[in-house]
């Protein structure tokens, strides 16, 4: 594609892209989905049984994985009614079943579940059934976000950091290898590559640690729990994150070798014997990095997975080439290092073509992905995924509008720098009078004679003048000070590229939010009653003071759900300045003094950073006294008290 195409052709191109973007909501109502949803259960939600069941079975719209504590059946008194963890039914990955205790009293039972869908996102909910007749239940229905936890919010932020790092790394590398190899020797470009690599490495390592708390809605401190980390590294999302770290190590080796080779060449050009291999290795690494996302997210679940995964890979790479390259171009347009010239107009033209191709790929793959996840016009306004997608469409249209002006300024800049058409050169074969007599012409001795009034031909040079090719420049590249008109084009291009880059970052943020939102099709396929979850935990902070220097702090105790029956207890010790503290021993007992019950030992166990117990049973409601014993050394120990109301 010619970047210097007429305005009419550019306008038609932009209109075609706009039409393609609008087409991404015209898909039919096919059966494609990601994010599992609860499609059925036995016993059914709200059913009243005359005899007690021996098991509870849940069926989901796609395959799911779960931990030992993913499915709980709670009695009317909030007692655990399933003594063993859930298992798949006859090897079916989209099912979960738990066996129930032998003797179950009459009343209403609550089934609370939290599983991980095939695309790597956790989902949760609850429903009820009754034995004999309905009664009160210890579980309340809430409408808050299923992932509204500290681990969930931090996990979402780190996913955005990872996407940003990939965009910088892939985009800057593509700009160097495709558009301007000389840029590899520029400090600001190398800094962009380094920032992208570091951001991606740090975010990936943090995501690997947080995967356990994110899946189970656990505390941040449980990120270092060996059992949860061990489960993470054996699951598909964890394996994808580990592979990504290995690939990034390979990318670091490649970038380092390239930097060393470039430092040996004063001109900063990629050596001819190395350029082809570097481009091939870089393309392979970029494809593999993008695959670590596609293989563990939306594309890996639903219909047409063999097609959806490569489409997702192309979509992600196109995003990186466009946005990362755009940021690289914006940095280069604003930079003026000592002794350096402006970025050549031909380089800007090449990137304009590359960016246009990337946007076309983005739109084409986005159409398919949106059809796969939305499926109808109605879903755009009735589901969270659809509303976020509508905002993304508006942002993309705005980006295309700004990109239209960027291409206009690029076309003018390239046209201005292109060599003017030279008049034809008339070649005449005449004898050379200095070599032979005029009357004896000798064939083969020729010289060039130009037509009268013609400017000097490129076949020869004027005295004291060197041709562009001899000077090492590219045709069309301005080697001298730019004119006033060219400077104006560059300033306009800098402004539009900066705006386009900012809007691109906004689109990336919206895209990250979409990847963590349940697609519209899956929302439609969920069982409508599976919308409950357990009540929020009760948190108690107990200060302690050993009476000596640096022996003060607080113990934060979390009781979940903080009701009669089975509770999970997690305790974290903080120093006086708010930092995490490790202690050799922490004991917790609970007493209800009004009824003379207790002390009940919580039997906290050290979980490498925090203390926890997962089977504390509180038999009665009322005000309970927490007795917390903190031991910091062999001889320093203190016991403090606080109260909490159990309902």
Instruction: Say whether the peptide bond before residue 43 is cis (omega within 30 degrees of 0).
Output: yes
Question: What are the distances in angstroms from CA 450 to CA 360, 431, 545, 615?
Answer: 48, 15, 100, 99
Task: Among 68-77, 239-248, 391-400, 605-614, name the most confident range.
Answer: 239-248
What six digits make up the tokens of 373? 């996840």
Looking at residue 179, what DSSP letter applies? I
- Determine the Cα–Cα distance for residues 535 and 78; give it in Å rounded to an integer: 12
User: Lowest mean pLDDT: which of 26-40, 188-202, 297-311?
Assistant: 26-40
CATH code for the structural domain at 538-646: 2.60.40
CA atoms in the 13 A half-sphere facing the CB of 516: 21
Nearest to 232 by CA among 214, 257, 250: 214
Query: Phi and psi dihedrals of 268, rounded to 5?
Result: 75, 0
- Determine the Cα–Cα distance for residues 107 and 41; give it in Å rounded to an integer: 18
User: Average pLDDT, stretch 405-420?
Assistant: 65
Nearest to 561 by CA among 110, 134, 157, 161: 110
Nearest to 318 by CA among 365, 277, 271, 252: 365
Residue 605's H or E segment, with its range, is: strand 605-606
Reduced to 3 states, what is the DSSP secondary structure of residue 523? helix
For the chain, the first-to-last Cα distance in angstroms comes to: 70
- Where does the pLDDT of residue 536 fall: very low under 50, low under 70, confident under 90, or very high at 90 and above? low
Tens of pLDDT, residues 143-158: 344 556 788 888 888 9
CA atoms in the 13 A half-sphere facing the CB of 360: 11
- Determine the Cα–Cα distance for residues 66 and 544; give it in Å rounded to an integer: 38
What six digits make up the tokens of 521? 């099709």
Tens of pLDDT, residues 537-568: 788 888 888 766 667 888 888 888 888 777 88
| pLDDT in the model for residue 288 | 94
635 versus 53: the higher-pLDDT residue is 53
| pLDDT in the model for residue 267 | 52
- Where does the pLDDT of residue 274 fall: very low under 50, low under 70, confident under 90, or very high at 90 and above? low
Give the bridge partners for 536, in sequence order. none
Reduced to 3 states, what is the DSSP secondary structure of residue 188? helix
The pLDDT mean for the chain works out to: 74
Check: CB of residue 126 under 8 Å from CB of residue 73: no
- Where does the pLDDT of residue 161 fall: very low under 50, low under 70, confident under 90, or very high at 90 and above? very high
Based on DSSP, count helices (H) and strands (E) in the chain, helices before strands: 13, 18
64 versus 298: the higher-pLDDT residue is 64
Check: CB of residue 624 under 8 Å from CB of residue 646: yes
- Where does the pLDDT of residue 227 fall: very low under 50, low under 70, confident under 90, or very high at 90 and above? confident
Question: What are the distances in angstroms from CA 549 to CA 544, 553, 570, 636, 641?
Answer: 13, 11, 27, 12, 21
- Determine the Cα–Cα distance for residues 333 and 498; give it in Å rounded to an integer: 10
Question: What are the distances in angstroms from CA 417 to CA 305, 485, 498?
Answer: 48, 11, 22
CATH code for the structural domain at 38-131: 2.60.40.1220
Listing from the earlier edge strand, what are the strands of the sheet with 585-592?
A: 597-601, 585-592, 622-631, 637-646
The DSSP-derived string for 599-646 is: EEE---EE-SSSEEEEEEEE-S-EEEEEEEEEE-SSS-EEEEEEEEEE
Largest distance between two CA atoms of the chain: 136
CA atoms in the 13 A half-sphere facing the CB of 214: 24
- Determine the Cα–Cα distance for residues 114 and 433; give it in Å rounded to an integer: 98
- Determine the Cα–Cα distance for residues 381 and 425; give it in Å rounded to an integer: 67
Residue intervals in the chain for CATH 2.60.40.1220:
38-131
Nearest to 519 by CA among 370, 364, 321, 367: 370
| pLDDT in the model for residue 403 | 74
- Where does the pLDDT of residue 23 fall: very low under 50, low under 70, confident under 90, or very high at 90 and above? very low
- Determine the Cα–Cα distance for residues 329 and 335; give it in Å rounded to an integer: 10
Tens of pLDDT, residues 290-318: 999 988 876 777 667 788 889 999 999 99
| pLDDT in the model for residue 634 | 74
């Amino acid at each position: 594609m010619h970047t210097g195409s007429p305005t009419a052709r550019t306008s038609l191109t932009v209109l075609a892209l706009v039409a393609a973007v609008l087409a991404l909501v015209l898909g039919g109502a096919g059966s494609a989905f990601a994010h599992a949803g609860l499609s059925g259960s036995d016993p059914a939600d709200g059913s009243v049984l005359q005899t007690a069941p021996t098991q509870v079975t849940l069926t989901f719209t796609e395959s799911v994985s779960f931990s030992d504590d993913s499915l709980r059946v709670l009695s009317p008194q909030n007692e655990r009614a399933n003594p063993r963890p859930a298992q798949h039914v006859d090897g079916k990955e989209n099912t979960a079943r738990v066996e129930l205790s032998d003797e179950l009293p009459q009343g209403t039972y609550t089934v609370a579940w939290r599983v991980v869908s095939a695309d790597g996102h956790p989902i949760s909910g609850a429903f009820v059934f009754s034995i004999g007749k309905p009664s009160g239940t210890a579980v309340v229905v809430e409408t808050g976000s299923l992932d509204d936890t500290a681990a969930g919010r931090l996990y979402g932020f780190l996913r955005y950091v990872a996407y940003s790092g990939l965009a910088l790394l892939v985009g800057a590398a593509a700009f160097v290898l495709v558009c301007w190899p000389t840029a590899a020797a520029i400090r600001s470009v190398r800094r962009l590559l380094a920032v992208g690599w570091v951001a991606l490495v740090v975010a990936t390592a943090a995501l690997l640690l947080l995967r356990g708390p994110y899946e189970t809605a656990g505390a941040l401190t449980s990120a270092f729990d060996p059992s949860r980390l061990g489960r993470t590294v054996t699951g598909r999302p964890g394996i994808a994150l580990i592979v990504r770290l290995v690939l990034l190590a390979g990318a670091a080796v490649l970038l380092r070798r390239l930097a060393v080779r470039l430092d040996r060449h004063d001109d900063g050009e990629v050596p001819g014997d190395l350029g082809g291999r570097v481009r091939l290795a870089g393309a392979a690494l970029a494809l593999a990095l993008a695959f670590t996302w596609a293989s563990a997210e939306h594309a890996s679940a639903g219909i047409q997975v063999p097609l959806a995964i490569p489409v997702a890979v192309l979509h992600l790479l196109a995003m990186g080439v466009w946005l990362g390259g755009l940021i690289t171009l914006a940095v280069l347009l604003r930079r003026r290092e000592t002794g350096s010239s402006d970025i050549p107009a031909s380089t800007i033209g090449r990137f304009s073509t590359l960016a246009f191709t990337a946007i076309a790929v983005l739109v084409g793959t986005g159409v398919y992905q949106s059809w796969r996840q939305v499926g109808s016009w109605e879903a755009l306004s009735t589901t969270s995924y659809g509303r976020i997608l509508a905002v993304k469409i508006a942002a993309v249209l705005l980006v295309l509008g700004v990109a239209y002006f960027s291409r206009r300024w690029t076309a003018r800049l390239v046209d201005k720098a292109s060599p003017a058409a030279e008049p034809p050169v008339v070649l005449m074969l005449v004898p050379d009078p200095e070599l032979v007599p005029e009357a004896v012409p000798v064939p083969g001795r020729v010289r060039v004679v130009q037509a009268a009034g013609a400017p000097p031909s490129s076949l020869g040079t004027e005295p004291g003048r060197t041709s562009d090719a001899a000077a090492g420049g590219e045709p069309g590249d301005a080697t001298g000070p730019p004119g006033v008109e060219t400077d104006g084009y560059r300033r306009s291009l800098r402004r539009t590229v900066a705006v386009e880059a900012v809007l691109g970052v906004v689109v990336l943020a919206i895209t990250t939010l979409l990847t963590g939102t349940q697609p519209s099709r899956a929302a439609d396929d969920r069982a409508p009653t599976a919308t409950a979850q357990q009540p929020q935990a009760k948190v108690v902070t107990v200060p302690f003071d050993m009476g000596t220097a640096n022996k003060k702090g607080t113990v934060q105790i979390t009781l979940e759900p903080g009701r009669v029956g089975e509770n999970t207890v997690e305790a974290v010790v903080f120093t006086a300045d708010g930092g995490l503290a490790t202690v050799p021993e922490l004991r917790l007992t609970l007493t209800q003094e009004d009824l003379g019950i207790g002390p009940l030992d919580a039997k906290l166990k050290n979980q490498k950073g925090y203390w926890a117990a997962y089977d504390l049973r509180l038999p009665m409601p009322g005000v309970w006294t927490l007795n917390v014993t903190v031991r910091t050394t062999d001889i320093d120990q203190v016991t403090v008290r606080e109260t909490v109301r159990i309902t």
